[in-house]
Structure 1
Amino acid sequence: MGGQPRYLWVADLLRKPILSGELPAGSRLPSRAQLARHYDVSEQVSRHALRLLVTEGLVESRPGSGYYVRGARESVRFPRTDRSSGSGVRPLDEEYIGTVTMPACDQLARRLLIREGEPLYRTRYVGRADGAPVAVHSSWEPTLLTHNTTRTPGDARPDTSVLERLSGAGVIVDRVVEEVSVRPLREPEAELLQTTPGLTVLVVERTHFTGQRPVETSDLVASVDRCRLLYRLSLSRSQR
């Protein structure tokens, strides 16, 4: 074991039979107490080892039941160069959570270049793969853009894109900026994804602009082991 932390040593001993197939998908792992006795470590060490394997996507935690070897699952690819833009959770199966009016918090006010407290429409969708929730899409836009029209997020048809909907209200989107990062999963998102807060998730922050004015912003929060981003970039040839 050398100078290696003991939880990494325990995790490595569990990882090897999982990767070799000796422990097939669906196999139940020993409990934290059983691991602690078997490897002569504390339950805190065995807990950290199991959590590491969960983070790596090799193991899943089932509350009230224990830890199980996770089977390989096909990744879902999100095309990020679609013509309509703002594709939400597609190509996943969409579940519309709803549209509500809320005041802009400091963070959203900075993203949309508006005053804190100004009213926003917030719309949420959950994306499912094989019946399981794997992504949440939340979008925000100032209510003044489409208020008293049939182009609000709650009034538009589900298949209407952000560009089409805002264009119908006279707001022409001419630029999209997207930033990709990872961060811990937050409590409201974890509830929608039916999982544990704190897990590392993929986050795509996308903002639509009219000139220099941001008119809509959104977060796609997705499982890092189920979701990938697919970019197709067209490169123009220089003219000689």
Structure 2
Amino acid sequence: MDRQPRYLWLAEQLRKPILRGEMPPGTRLPSRTRLARTYRVSEQISRTALRLLVTEGLVEARPGSGYYVRSAPEVFRICRTDGSSGSGVGLLSRELVGTEQEPCAPPLSRRLRLREGEPVYRTTSRGLASDRPVTLHRSWEPASLTAGTLRTPFDTSPGSGLLDRLCSVGHPVDRVIEEVGVRALHDSEASLLGAAPGTPVLVVERTHFSGNRAVETSDLIGSAEHCRLLYRLALARP
């Protein structure tokens, strides 16, 4: 069996007391030089071990100060089995950012099965906890579905549901498809979430169908560190 790399061994010596609570949040870790002397390793190994703990989210680096045990992030559970099939931000308060009309572009055109350039309505909202943005929700629907009616996203009153609005213009939603993935936060999304571009985020792509027609699609975006998706599945009894 291959011998464990020394940096992994050193990281484990620090990880154990952190996870056991023996080194509470805010505790300053020994310097790279002190770790190297204490554990008889090179400074390169101690540096790599500390960086690994930073990557794991257990430790944070403070420039000019050192490495500190990090506080556990607050976790928000977002129920994806909501009855309204709307933005699905769960117990977070919803803040409407705005609605705009724009030409449909790939890959959105594939999700909505539209020709490139066809007009769509884009609505942006945020899920807030104590006035802090936690999730970003962006939805798009073909403008042709509700154009000329009082059921466009521009005419939507607060609290009105997507399903009722589309059903009232002859497009009852009977099927929903969700796909969950992880990607880096885009520049255009970062300022709305108050996070740095490139931050790992969970993305829930949800598309509503009326028959075989896609009538709306959306992205629910949240920090992979702070957000959990909660699904409740009913199982048929044998």
Query: What is the alpha-carbon root mean square deviation over aligned residues?
Result: 3.2
Question: Which residue of 2 is the match for residue 170 of structure 1?
Answer: 170
CA positional deviation for 1:66: 7.9
Give the structure-2-normalised TM-score: 0.80
The question of whether the paired residues in 1 share the 8 Å contact of 2:105 and 2:116 is answered with yes
Q: Write the distance in 2 (CA, Å) between the matches of 1:182 and 1:35.
A: 33
Helix, strand or coil: the match of 1:106?
coil
Q: Does 1:215 align with 2:215?
A: yes
Question: Which residue of 1 is the match for residue 92 of structure 2?
Answer: 92
Give the structure-1-normalised TM-score: 0.79
Structure 2 counterpart of 1:100, which letter?
A: E
Q: Does 1:236 align with 2:236?
A: yes
Q: Does 1:123 align with 2:120?
A: no
Question: Which residue of 2 is the match for residue 82 of structure 1?
Answer: 82
CA separation of 1:192/1:170 partners in 2, compared to 1, >3 Å: closer, same or farther? Answer: same
CA positional deviation for 1:74: 4.4
Structure 2 counterpart of 1:218, which letter?
A: S
Q: Deviations over 1:70-97 (max 9, x none)?
A: 3234432222222211233232122221
CA separation of 1:231/1:176 partners in 2, compared to 1, >3 Å: closer, same or farther? Answer: same
Helix, strand or coil: the match of 2:176?
strand
Q: Write the distance in 1 (CA, Å) between the matches of 2:193 and 2:185.
A: 10
Helix, strand or coil: the match of 1:190?
helix
Q: Write the distance in 2 (CA, Å) between the matches of 1:130 and 1:47.
A: 37
Structure 1 counterpart of 2:107, which letter?
A: Q
Q: How many residues align?
A: 232
Q: Which runs of 5+ in 1 are unaligned?
A: none
Q: Write the distance in 2 (CA, Å) between the matches of 1:233 and 1:180.
A: 16
Structure 2 counterpart of 1:82, which letter?
A: D
Q: Rg: which structure is higher?
A: 2
CA separation of 1:176/1:14 partners in 2, compared to 1, >3 Å: closer, same or farther? Answer: same
Question: Which residue of 1 is the match for residue 5 of structure 2?
Answer: 4
The question of whether the paired residues in 1 share the 8 Å contact of 2:80 and 2:88 is answered with no
CA positional deviation for 1:217: 0.3
Structure 2 counterpart of 1:112, which letter?
A: L
Question: Which residue of 1 is the match for residue 195 of structure 2?
Answer: 195
Q: Does 1:149 align with 2:133?
A: no
CA positional deviation for 1:62: 7.7
Structure 1 counterpart of 2:20, which letter?
A: S
Helix, strand or coil: the match of 2:107?
helix
Aligned identity (percent) is: 56
CA positional deviation for 1:224: 2.0
